[in-house]
Structure 1
């Protein structure tokens, strides 16, 4: 993974439009059932956000690309589920992932409308909850009332750790050349991911009274 992303990030740093497009697609694909469970969207977003302190990318456009991608991705998945109802959950390729479908349903039933908010921070069911919410009949107004605020929290939570960490690294070590900073991106990415996932798990467990979401066995 690192051997692929390192040269890719170095390339997009010289082509800002491609970096913003990549951010948009990474956020969008994270919301696509099945695809979102395997595409390292969060890693890509965190890695590209590390280019902001060096001036290769602008923070406001990074956040906007991530937000728009996530809104369109979640919204598209929701409307597919809303139109096809429960039939979509018994359709390929979801039938190849019965455990994740069951976990998503269990998560949704346990937390209700708030499942849409919490799922934004809990991979891999993040890619399954929007379509499940639509399939289970959640009203569009309720979905967007929870989903959009969740995305507005999720985007900075993924982007700012990389930005702040690399900014601090610049100040501490005086590293202003992108080639030097690139050696530290992956350590910073791991730390940022751990912080985000840790916060998400804490929120879910707090909401659940310390319990763990249990999936029903596939029928």
Structure 2
């Protein structure tokens, strides 16, 4: 992974507008079913956030790019599911991931509407839950009422650990905040963010209990 991330950081640090575009696409693709299971979107976001203390990127634009990509990705997946209904869950390529689809439905049975909120912090079902929500008949207003606050918390949770880690190195290790230094410490950003995501994931899964729903039970959660 480092062989891929290091050249990426080096390149985008010299082209800020490409960095923001990369952040946007990373967040968007992470929300696409199947694709989101293999694209290291969270890792890319955490790594690029390490460029903020050195001045290569601006915190506000990083947060905006990540949130906008996640919103477009989640929203597009939801509307695909909403229009196609449950048939899309049995169509290719989702038919190749029955376990993840079952986990997504189980999430709704356990958490109801709040499944949309919690799933944003739980890979890899994060990429499947929005489409599943649409396919199971969740009302659009209810989806966005939960999805938008989740994204507004998810973006800082992925960006700020990198900022804090590199800022601490500048402050306490005496490292100068010049351009390019952050790329050597992106792994600290990833570790910090991973710890946050792991804590949320553990909490949710501990309460989840592995209950498998029926389609009718899942539909009742949206009424």
TM-score (norm 1): 0.92
Displacement of 1:59: 0.3
1:153 Cα offset (Å):
0.5
Aligned to 1:184: 185
Kept after mapping to 2: 8 A contact 1:77/1:131: yes
Q: State whether residues 165 and 188 of structure 2, in contact with CA within 8 Å, keep that contact through their aligned partners in structure 1.
A: no
Deviations 1:122-169 (A, max 9, x none): 000000000000000000010000000000000001001110111111
Shift of 1:62: 0.2
- The offset of 1:200, in angstroms, is 3.6
Task: Report the equivalent of 1:196.
Answer: 197
> Contact 1:99–1:215 (CA<8 Å) still a contact in 2?
no
- CA-CA distance at 1:178 after TM superposition: 4.5
1:57-206 matched pairs, under 5 angstroms: 57-176=57-176, 177-202=178-203, 204-205=204-205
Displacement of 1:104 after TM fit?
0.7
Deviation at 1:172, TM superposition (A): 1.1
Provide the C-alpha distance between the structure 1 equivalents of 2:28 and 2:197, rounded to a whole number of angstroms: 19
CA–CA separation in structure 2 for the residues paired with 1:109 and 1:180: 47
CA contact (8 A) 2:67 2:151 kept: yes
Whether the aligned pair in 2 keeps the contact of 1:74 and 1:130 (CA below 8 Å) is yes
The residue number in structure 2 matching 1:212 is 209
The alignment yields a C-alpha RMSD, in angstroms, of 1.5
Structure 1 distance, partners of 2:83, 2:24, is 25
Unaligned runs of 5+ residues in structure 1 are: none
Match of 2:216 in 1: none
> 1:26 touches 1:45 (CA, 8 Å); kept in 2?
yes
Query: Contact 2:47/2:187 (CA < 8 Å) preserved in 1?
Result: yes
Secondary structure of 2:138 counterpart: coil
Partner of 1:47: 47
How many residues get paired?
Answer: 212
TM-score (normalizing by structure 2) = 0.90
Distance 1:77 1:45 in 2: 20
Asked if the contact 2:49–2:189 (Cα under 8 Å) also holds between the matched residues in 1, the reply is no
Contact 2:48 2:186 survives alignment (8 Å)? no
